[in-house]
């Protein structure tokens, strides 16, 4: 029998989980030749999400869960699910039903029929149910990261995807602590078949992303997949120094020809402010990379598990 694991990160999703479970069950019945397993990751929810998951596990042996000791973030939840998955095919999808469960079957059969493809991934065609500000910010972020990084990260790509076992094994072989999955998915390669997917409104509950968490996600993505910011400070620093040297030469020549000039206080202040600013920015950029290196060398686990009903592989 073919097998597929559904990885579902959940953070405060108690309202939507019963609905999610019944919709996905209905979808799974259409493919009776497949063994479906749910892997719910309770990412330190503060509501009754874990109780709901435990109830589901009591009713249905296909329901597996991993419950974290605290909130580690969606990236950690996805990694835990991938690490504990054993099926031939693995699907990642959100609990809020924004990722239409019907598409799982389409993605799955496309992989069965096209052996040359290893990943079937959803990309959104619209940004329904999202603020204009968030959409604009996200567009800007992807244009920046794609210019700076050598891996291509499509703006519309979602985490919603079905992958073959070998792709999952490749993803979990990357040991980094600071995980930016969209970059990792592109970095590991493999042929990807894209599915256009209309974003639906959340079925219940609310989004977990604030502006600052999105900003942090964007910085993590850029720092994790590009060293260009380090070069920006080198290039601007060099350009400003060159201008400074040219200006100094100009002053020396002017002084030799016209005699000393007591004015010039404003230009000195400007130079100090601009240069001081550039130095601080450069230090800040180096600091961002250094802090990532610091976290990586500590070799801390990406997540800690409190309870699970899955036997480790
Ligand atoms: N999520 C998670 N940990 C977090 C934040 C979110 O596991 O710290 C889960 C959440 O339960 C949902 C998915 O990640 O299943 C996407 O989150 P959300 O719907 O809030 O994001 P959005 O769709 O607004 O981008
Ligand atoms: Mg959502």
Q: CB-hemisphere CA count at 13 Å for 81?
A: 30
How remote is the CA of residue 211 from the centroid of ligand 2, in Å?
15
What's the rounded mean pLDDT across residues 208-223?
A: 84
Q: Is 148 helix (H, G, I), strand (E, B) or coil?
A: helix
User: Which of 9, 23, 124, 159 maximizes ligand 1 atoms within 8 Å of its Cβ, making it the mutation to test the pocket?
Assistant: 9
**205 band by pLDDT with thresholds 50, 70 and 90:** confident
Average pLDDT, the chain: 87
Torsion of CA 49, 41, 93, 30, to 10 degrees: -80
**192 band by pLDDT with thresholds 50, 70 and 90:** very high
159 in contact with ligand 1, CB cutoff 6 A = no
pLDDT, one tens digit per residue, over 49-100 is: 999 999 999 999 999 999 999 999 999 999 999 999 999 999 999 999 888 8
Class of 2-210+300-308 in CATH:
alpha beta
Listed in order, strand segments (DSSP E) in 100-225 are 119-124, 157-164, 192-197
pLDDT exceeds cutoff 90 at 232: no
Q: What is the separation of C-alpha 67 from the centre of its chain, rounded to a whole number of angstroms?
A: 21
User: Which of 23, 47, 74 maximizes ligand 1 atoms within 8 Å of its Cβ, making it the mutation to test the pocket?
Assistant: 74
pLDDT, one tens digit per residue, over 262-274 is: 677 677 877 887 7
- Residue predicted with more confidence, 310 or 207: 310
What's residue 113's pLDDT?
93
Cβ atoms < 10 Å from Cβ of 72? 20
pLDDT exceeds cutoff 80 at 202: no
Place of tokens 């990412």: 43
What's residue 151's pLDDT?
80
């Amino acid at each position: 029998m073919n097998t597929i694991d559904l990885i579902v990160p959940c953070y405060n999703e108690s309202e939507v989980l019963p609905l999610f479970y019944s919709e996905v069950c209905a979808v799974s019945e259409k493919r009776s030749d497949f063994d479906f397993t749910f892997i719910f990751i309770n990412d330190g929810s503060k509501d009754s999400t874990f109780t709901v998951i435990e109830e589901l596990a009591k009713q249905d042996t296909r329901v597996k869960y991993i419950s974290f000791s605290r909130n580690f973030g969606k990236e950690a939840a996805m990694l835990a699910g991938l690490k504990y998955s054993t099926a031939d095919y693995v699907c990642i999808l959100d609990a809020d039903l924004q990722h239409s469960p019907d598409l799982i079957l389409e993605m799955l059969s496309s992989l069965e029929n096209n052996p040359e493809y290893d990943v079937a991934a959803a990309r959104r065609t619209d940004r329904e149910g999202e603020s204009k500000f968030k959409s604009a910010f996200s567009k800007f972020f992807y244009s920046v990261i794609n210019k700076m990084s050598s891996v291509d990260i499509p703006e519309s790509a979602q985490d919603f995807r079905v992958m073959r076992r070998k792709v999952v094994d490749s993803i979990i072989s990357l040991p980094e602590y600071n995980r930016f999955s969209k970059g990792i998915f592109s970095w590991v390669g493999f042929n990807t078949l894209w599915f256009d997917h209309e974003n639906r409104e959340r079925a219940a509950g609310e989004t977990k992303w604030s502006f600052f968490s999105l900003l942090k996600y964007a910085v993590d993505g850029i720092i994790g997949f590009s060293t260009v910011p380090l070069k920006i400070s080198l290039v601007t620093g060099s350009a400003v120094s060159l201008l400074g040297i040219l200006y100094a030469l100009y002053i020396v020549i002017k002084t030799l020809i016209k005699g000393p000039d007591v004015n010039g206080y404003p230009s000195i202040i400007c130079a100090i402010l601009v240069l001081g600013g550039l130095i601080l920015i450069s230090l800040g950029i180096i600091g961002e990379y250094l802090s990532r290196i610091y976290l990586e060398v500590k070799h801390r686990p990406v997540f800690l598990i409190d309870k699970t009903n899955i036997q480790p592989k």
